Amino acid sequence: MIKVIDLFAGCGGFSCGFERAGYDIISAVEFDKNIAKSYEMNHPKTKMIADDIKNVDNNNIFKKNDATIIIGGPPCQGFSMAGARIRKGFIDDPRNYLFKHYFNVVKIVRPKIFIIENVKGILTMKNGQVFNEIKKIFEDSNNFEGKPYKIQYKVMKAKEFGIPQNRERTIIIGSMIDFDLDEEINKTKEYIKGIDKHFFDNVTVWQAISNLPKPTEDGNIKTKKAENNYQKFLSSNSGKTFNHVMTKHNSIAVKRMEKIGINENFTVLDEEIKTVHSGSYGRLDPDSIAPTITTRFDTPSGGRFIHPFENRTITPREAARIQSFPDDFEFVGTKSCICKQIGNAVPPKLSYFLGTMIRRILEND
């Protein structure tokens, strides 16, 4: 099996898709020890390093040729704060230390391919200087003993991969192998259609969550029979799933939600709502896709996350369905920690596509 290291792993959405595509995730790094527990529960064969990445980018933890692929998304806070002096030392700016340590691990391990997932805006931050600097660092032969990486990127839309969510993320791929990314994406789409002709079908919110029964106190439920191909793709052999717990809203919030129709939000309420989110108190359209699932999907004021038919926000399991997590994936931790895990994750179905594409590239090398 092809070996993979997952950096900034979170609960393991990226790993989840690569595992389904047939990879061996040998180790993962996650700073938040509570989130690391979710990763360990769902990826018991992977060595979890629950530590700050600055403590692990060394030869004691990683060695050359440990893995063929490195995946992960360094958080973008440092990128967005990068100042006007970017050209004078981006990688040495302490605000970009997360990216620097990702780079250091790549430099130690020397994988054939690495993948960085980040926000769409990374391409335009500081008028494109941030992305150009990242590209320059990995394509500099002086950093890699004369054998640098070729950098390619693509903004990928979750909805185009049969995920019911308007999520767009930049996928940056560095490779020692010469290939055309757009060409490989198209070839992989045709390949997957040959295996699963429904993989890229458009999926609505209701198609994602319709076979989930009422939420329970402990969140453990048995799903009804899969009603469509998306539900079949995510279903577990046991028919059981977890984390289907509803938020207990106060009476004021419930009364507000009672007045909100499909695709409406706080603007229809006859009161002044102070909010920083334009979609605050928004109700999901069952026949359309959801907005990007964020870490605040359990809060009515956090965006358009009210259930299509019930006066409550969506549960963690419903959010996980919209994120394309399989039903046998169980999240552990406090409510806020679980929301953070789901909202920050790479959708596993998109990750599966990327894993399938990379495997084909390696096989044809």
129-143, 181-195, 321-335: least confidently modelled range:
129-143
Active site residue 76: yes
Whether 123 shows a pLDDT value over 70: the answer reads: yes
Alpha carbons 233 and 199: distance in angstroms, whole number: 9
Whether 313 shows a pLDDT value over 80: the answer reads: yes
Residue 317 tokens read as: 């399991």
Average of per-residue pLDDT values in the chain:
93
Quote the percentage of the chain above a pLDDT of 90: 82
Over residues 211-232, the pLDDT tens digits come to: 999 999 999 999 999 999 999 9
Is residue 82 within 8 Å of residue 95, measured between CB atoms? yes
Whether 83 shows a pLDDT value over 60: the answer reads: no
pLDDT at 85: 47
Whether 86 shows a pLDDT value over 60: the answer reads: no
Whether 189 shows a pLDDT value over 80: the answer reads: yes
Arithmetic mean of pLDDT, 148-168 = 97
Q: Which residue has the higher pLDDT, 88 or 187?
A: 187
Is residue 81 within 8 Å of residue 95, measured between CB atoms? yes
* Annotated active-site residue in 11, 76, 337, 339: 76
Quote the percentage of the chain above a pLDDT of 70: 94
Q: How confident is the model at residue 95 (pLDDT cuts 50, 70, 90)?
A: low
Is residue 169 within 8 Å of residue 156, measured between CB atoms? yes
Whether 84 shows a pLDDT value over 50: the answer reads: no
pLDDT at 98: 83
Over residues 246-298, the pLDDT tens digits come to: 999 999 999 999 999 999 999 999 887 776 677 899 999 999 999 999 999 99
Arithmetic mean of pLDDT, 186-206 = 98
Tally of CA atoms within 13 A in the half-sphere of 290 that contains its CB: 31
Over residues 140-156, the pLDDT tens digits come to: 999 999 999 999 999 99
Arithmetic mean of pLDDT, 22-42 = 97
